Amino acid sequence: MIVSQVYLHSLNPAIHLSEITYLSQQLHVKAYMAIPKKAHKLPGLLYLRGGIKKVGMVRIERVIQWASEGMIVLAPFYRGNEGGEGREDFCGEDRFDAITAFDVLASLDLVDENSIHIVGFSRGGTMALLTALERHHAKTVTCWNGVSDMKLTYEERIDLRRMMKRVIGGTPNKYPERYEWRTPLHEINRLQSKLLIIHGFLDKHVSVEHSFRLKKQCDIWNKHAEFWLYPTFEHQFPDVAQKRVLTNAATWMKQT
């Protein structure tokens, strides 16, 4: 399933880092892959970035942080980025870049097939939920400051409306079905993975209302969800706190 692999300089000498190319709907898509050097049947982690195009691009530092927690990490850039083919459409067809990346991760010999996890940050929260809804053997899914309602994003982020209308193909008033298709809240009843919700209460990019709505739907469908709410944090957590929360989240994944 991996078309090509190029090894890169790793910030951690205990972690192998590479850029891979894989096929998603016949498109060549790029991703980072990080593997602890002494790996032997470790948990797998699909890391789903936020933003679009250059905004919110996967950071090598973040991939290395997750891998340093004893996990094999795959982090797709999504179609059309960093030399990949196609064009992002903000949780539309590009969701298959995440779903296919999950399959690539699950196919690796070093990955424990009974311990595969998904984490999505910001827009990646929607991608993570959409992936978990299609891959029920994902053990956990974590939404970190994650989008859960695409219409709410359109309403709140006036600065993103022009991009969303262009990429999605219109407004939620004119094409409600296009926004509903990108909103996993409507299908939480099908979620089988354990869920962790992380959010900074002062987040101005993705309001905490997204997480409140997600938790409410979980409660309605009797889906247990851990909810870690941080009253003083914004979209990007302070460095020290971010590392601590990441470690705690990785521990939660492995112990769930």
| pLDDT tens for each residue of 96-117 | 999 999 999 999 999 999 999 9
Residue 245 has pLDDT above 80, yes or no: yes
Asked whether the whole model's pTM tops 0.95, one would answer yes
Summarised one tens digit per residue, pLDDT across range 130-181 is 999 999 999 999 999 999 999 999 999 999 999 999 999 999 999 999 999 9
What integer pLDDT is reported at residue 153 of this predicted model? 98
Does residue 39 have a pLDDT over 90? no
E-strand spans in 122-242? Answer: 140-144, 194-200, 225-230
Q: How far is CA 1 from CA 23, 53, 54, 102, 105, in A?
A: 7, 24, 26, 11, 10
Domains of the chain and any CATH numbers: 2-255 (3.40.50.1820)
Q: Which of 43, 36, 35 is nearest to 115 (CA)?
A: 43
203: CB partners within 8 A, 6+ apart: 145, 233, 234, 235
Residues 6+ apart with CB under 8 A from 59: none
Enzyme catalytic residues? 122, 235
Q: What is the mean pLDDT of residues 33-60?
A: 96
CB atoms within 10 A of CB 176: 13
For range 53-62, the mean pLDDT: 97
pLDDT score at 40: 85
Q: Residue 66 pLDDT more than 90?
A: yes
- Contact criterion met (CB below 8 Å) for 200 and 228: no
When pLDDT is averaged across residues 176-199 and rounded to a whole number, the result is 98
pLDDT for 38 equals 86
